[in-house]
Amino acid sequence: MVEPLHVLRLGHRKGRDPRITTHLALVARAMGADRFLLAGDEDEGMFANIRSVEDRFGRAMDLEHLASPMAWLRRFAQQDAGDGGPGTVVHLTMYGIPHRTAIPTIRRDRPLTVVVGGAKVPPEAFSLAHHNVAVGNQPHSEVAALALFLDAWTNGAGLERTFEAPRLRIHPSARGKHVDEEE
């Protein structure tokens, strides 16, 4: 059984971060996440954009706003997160252990939450994480960090997932667009 994979976006600011947070959600969706959790400002417009993509390209994950993300993370990390005991928390930070070194040490028999920070990450996120993981040690996009981590975590299989009830299916092509549309 494949354990659930969640992505938790901390510190979303509705007026400043909708594009980055939307891209995080799209990467999470495309690369294997079962659930995208938003912490910070509630943003139903951003969720509507993701639902619109899922209406066209198929449903893949649940969306949820967390009013108390650190409380949720504490419960996830310390209590039963589903079958198999507490969940595993991976915090993506440029101050962590390189992802290619860390991934082999991360348990795969428990649900996983990948935490992606925003403008200010609460210090508690570092201490709650079972693994503080870096995708490079230079400033860069958290979208790139999530994509590279999930690709390495799934050995590329995240991009091969199937989606529930897609209306549009894109077929690879060296030239042009090849899209099937379901009615």
Give tens-digit pLDDT for 1-23: 578 999 999 999 998 888 999 99
CA atoms within 13 A on the CB side of 107: 16
Q: What percent of the chain has pLDDT over 90?
A: 77
Write down the domain spans for the chain: 5-181
Please state, in angstroms and rounded to a whole number, the distance separating the CA atoms of residues 42 and 141. Answer: 22
Q: What is the pLDDT of residues 10-67, one digit of tens each?
A: 999 998 888 999 999 999 999 999 999 999 999 999 999 999 999 999 998 999 999 9
CA 92 to each of CA 9, 83, 173, 183: distance values in angstroms, whole numbers, following the listed order: 11, 25, 34, 40
Mean pLDDT of 68-97: 85
pLDDT digits (tens, 9 = 90+) for 141-162: 999 999 999 999 999 888 888 8
Query: Do residues 106 and 91 touch, judged by C-beta distance below 8 A?
Result: no
Query: Count H helices, E strands: the chain?
Result: 6, 8
Specify whether the CB–CB gap between 125 and 70 falls below 8 A: yes
How many residues appear in the chain?
A: 183
Distance between CA 156 and CA 149 in Å, rounded?
10
Superfamily of domain 5-181, CATH level 4:
SPOUT methyltransferase, trefoil knot domain (3.40.1280.10)
Confidence of residue 182 (pLDDT cuts 50, 70, 90): confident
Q: Is the pTM of this model over 0.95?
A: no
* Segment 120-140, tens digit of pLDDT: 899 999 999 999 999 998 888
